Structure 1
Amino acid sequence: MKIVRELEIFIRTAKTGSLSEAARLLDLTPAATSAAVKRLEEELKTTLFVRSTRSLRLTPAGQLFLDQCEPAVQMIMDACQAAQSGDTVLRGILQISLPSDFGRNIVLPWLDEFQNQYPQIKLRVAMSDRLADLFREQVDLALRYGSLPDSNMVALSIAPNNRRILCAAPSYLDRRGIPSTLEDLANHNCLCFMLGEYVYDHWRFDLNGQEVSIQVQGDRVSLDGDAVRRWALAGFGIAYKSQLDVAEDIRCGRLIQVCPEWLGEAAPLNLLCANRRQVSPVVQALQLFLQQKCVELIQT
């Protein structure tokens, strides 16, 4: 459907603010993208973008058109996919943002398996511990830990019972010993990560139904969760990581769970999307696939 394709080009151009970037995402040439936008403006008899040599932004009419056409185009594309596949073949492009540690070390191999099951699905993957802005950035989905940050977003549950756990390498525990109380953590090198602009150095636990917080300190802090895991593996200190991040390391003995009787902070894993209309058959298949893989990971 030519008009739907041209509307998709318009939406991508508006979201990225760049004809060349929209072309790259849609596997088109910049010239073809520019021509499609011009045809759409001629059809509507209005200007959708204000252009300069260095920037591209929506006109008021363009913004109004984007707000109205984006959900309609998504519904049409979903309907076309269902009709073409007969609800048996899943196809399409998934643009997904993954957390650096869990994404790089665990989810990427899972996605290889997912694409083997559904070879008509194409993936565009970004790695970041920062929460992607699903309304502005070139991602459709974000796999993230924690509670829903924006009430306008939709959270598809992947691992609702996941928690943070204390862990360290055997070499570190041989040198420094195992803490016997929460207060003992003050005498250990604790490997911290950043939450937004702040160092997450108040570690919370549930002890017999009572929430307890302990401030920790150490000689290493990182914005990247994978760096914290690597420091722990190298024996530099104790980390407070998602169980999913380190389940395989613990199973293989590279890390040891420290004081498992201390119930760590809840860290539910969710697949986030901007609105319910994005929960297509492809996204539903990915949700079910990731749910099953997380259960298998924790049980092994």
Structure 2
Amino acid sequence: MQLDNLSHLAVFAAVARLGSFRKAAAELSLSASAASYAVRTLEDRLGVGLFNRTTRSVSLTEAGRHLLERLQPALGSVSSALEEMNLFRASPSGTLRINTFRDAALVVVAPLVERFLRMYPDIQLDIVSDDGLVDIVGMGFDVGIRYEESVPEDMVAVPVGPEQRFVVIGSPAYIARRGEPKHPDDLMRHDCIRYRFRSGAFYKWELAKDGVQLQLDVPGRLSVGDSELILRAALDGVALGFLPEHKVRALVAEGKLVCVLEDWCPPMAGMMMYYPRQRQMTSALRAFIDLARAA
């Protein structure tokens, strides 16, 4: 295979994965016009269209989907072969792409960034904060960070970060207006802020005490998909929220929020860093996991 064919196939795979010529170009350090030219040249050589293009979206044609399915194993083998060359280097190199939700980015990833980049000057970090659940393989990430219950079963998961505790919080004005819940059953008569996943499912509040574990589909007129919106609404007295304790600790100390049902909010396992079981671990990922576990 000619080298330019291989580079054009790599551009095609990146556009297919990201659904955007602009994003693929940025990832590959190309101009958008160069990425578009590479795909057009590939289409001309193959004699078929690989993408349906509109001003707002890019999607694979049937031929494009077939090519991508056949191409991914081969590109994976090429990537693995290149990664193995790191065995001959003095230190790891390459780009490490991390997908994490916002709280984990602040609690787990941010404290490691300066030290990691200083220790490994040949590694580039690409960190994407996303509170929704994503397919890290399909989106081209090396590793994801989520709570244990959100980690797909076919992934290798490694505990990272400190122990966590979720707490039920409300503003003093809300508590004065609606009263303080004394038992989890009382939440069913309160307004609660519901967290909605991208899938459309609602997160069930997890409470536990003396061996009794509850998962409550709490009622509420406000549903959001962002923890910052939960915090804002709770501060404004809209309803009760359920958030990580580290996120609200200072506001509780200042009297802006009140914790309720504290005896039903035990500590829980921390966050999990996860990666595909079938994929060879890159030297950059191994270095990051080692640093995170030692922190």
Summarize the Cα distance change of 1:178–1:286 in structure 2 as closer, same or farther, 3 Å threshold.
farther
User: Would you say the 8 A contact 1:146–1:266 is kept in 2?
Assistant: no
Distance 2:250 2:239 in 1: 19
User: Structure 2 unaligned runs (5+)?
Assistant: none
Offset from partner CA, 1:78-137 (integer Å, 9 cap, x none):
2233423x1x3x43223222224443x545743643445544433333332221122332
Distance 1:291 1:171 in 2: 42
User: Would you say the 8 A contact 2:104–2:145 is kept in 1?
Assistant: no
Summarize the Cα distance change of 1:152–1:39 in structure 2 as closer, same or farther, 3 Å threshold.
farther
SS at 1:27 equivalent: coil
Q: 2:281 is aligned with what amino acid?
A: V
Distance 1:169 1:290 in 2: 35
User: Would you say the 8 A contact 2:112–2:292 is kept in 1?
Assistant: no
Across the two proteins, how many residue pairs are aligned to each other? Answer: 285
Residue range with higher mean Cα deviation, 243-252 or 152-161:
243-252
Summarize the Cα distance change of 1:25–1:206 in structure 2 as closer, same or farther, 3 Å threshold.
same
User: Structure 1 unaligned runs (5+)?
Assistant: 294-300
State the partner residue of 1:197. Answer: 200
User: Would you say the 8 A contact 1:106–1:245 is kept in 2?
Assistant: no
Summarize the Cα distance change of 1:212–1:152 in structure 2 as closer, same or farther, 3 Å threshold.
closer
State the partner residue of 2:82. Answer: 77
Q: 1:185 is aligned with what amino acid?
A: L
Residue range with higher mean Cα deviation, 247-256 or 231-240:
247-256
Distance 1:152 1:24 in 2: 30
Normalising by structure 2, we get a TM-score of 0.72
Which one of the candidate residues 93, 96, 102 is aligned to 1:94? 96
Distance 1:83 1:106 in 2: 34
Asked if residue 126 in structure 1 is aligned to residue 128 in structure 2, the reply is yes
User: Would you say the 8 A contact 2:170–2:258 is kept in 1?
Assistant: yes
Distance 1:127 1:188 in 2: 31
Q: 1:76 is aligned with what amino acid?
A: A
Shift of 1:24: 1.9
State the partner residue of 1:26. Answer: 28
State the partner residue of 1:297. Answer: none
Query: CA RMSD, aligned part only?
Result: 4.0
Shift of 1:53: 5.6
State the partner residue of 2:218. Answer: 216
Q: 2:212 is aligned with what amino acid?
A: Q
User: Would you say the 8 A contact 2:102–2:130 is kept in 1?
Assistant: yes
Counterparts of residues 11-50 of structure 1 (less than 5 Å): 11-16=13-18, 18-30=20-32, 32-33=34-35, 50=50
Shift of 1:17: 5.1
Distance 1:210 1:12 in 2: 48
- Percent of aligned pairs with the same residue? 25
Shift of 1:194: 1.1
Which one of the candidate residues 62, 69, 75 is aligned to 2:67? 62
State the partner residue of 1:179. Answer: 181
Counterparts of residues 124-273 of structure 1 (less than 5 Å): 124-147=126-149, 149-159=151-161, 162-169=164-171, 172-173=174-175, 178-195=180-197, 196-200=199-203, 202-243=204-245, 245-246=247-248, 255-263=257-265, 268-273=270-275
Distance 2:120 2:248 in 1: 28
Summarize the Cα distance change of 1:179–1:112 in structure 2 as closer, same or farther, 3 Å threshold.
same
Distance 2:163 2:5 in 1: 41
Shift of 1:143: 1.8
Summarize the Cα distance change of 1:50–1:102 in structure 2 as closer, same or farther, 3 Å threshold.
closer
SS at 2:272 equivalent: strand
